[in-house]
Amino acid sequence: MALPNAYGQYNNSKILTASPAELTLMLYEGAIKFCNIAIAAIEEKDVEKTHTNIRKVERIIDYLRQTLDMKYPVAEHFERIYTYLSQRLIEANIKKEKEILEEINGHLRMLRDTWKEVMKKGRE
């Protein structure tokens, strides 16, 4: 029984010791994971699981949007992307359409991969 608790403590310490850039990467990874779960739930015709996981993605996108520092011009670009993703997530949740979620997931993967490149260049 100690193993689940140890895993939780590890994850907690991982988050507490992460840099802001690493936290952003974790948020993108989480959004992708929950989007994948929602896609699988649509295939399984599990409406509640679909809804729950789409809402998780929505909350992550909302958080990313709220934490934008608008003093940087690139923040306006991210604001537009996050607004678009939020609108598409609402549509996906209403219609329960796998194709919309696959589109969203593609955008999330692109954002994640771009963020990884930014992190890599920041270390160089």
What are the pLDDT digits (tens) for 10-38? 556 677 778 999 999 999 999 999 999 99
Question: Which of 6-15, 35-44, 93-102, 113-122 shows the lowest mean pLDDT across its residues?
Answer: 6-15
Q: Do residues 26 and 15 touch, judged by C-beta distance below 8 A?
A: yes
Classify residue 7: in a domain, yes or no: no
Q: Do residues 25 and 115 touch, judged by C-beta distance below 8 A?
A: yes
Classify residue 79: in a domain, yes or no: yes
Classify residue 6: in a domain, yes or no: no
Q: Please give the Cα distance from 67 to 70 (Å, whole number).
A: 9
Classify residue 2: in a domain, yes or no: no
Domain count, the chain: 1
Classify residue 78: in a domain, yes or no: yes
Classify residue 89: in a domain, yes or no: yes
Whether the pTM exceeds 0.95: the reply is no
Classify residue 67: in a domain, yes or no: yes
Confidence grade of residue 2 (pLDDT, cut at 50, 70, 90): low
Q: 35: domain CATH number?
A: 1.20.120.340
Q: Please give the Cα distance from 23 to 62 (Å, whole number).
A: 15
**Does residue 71 sit in helix, strand or coil?**
coil
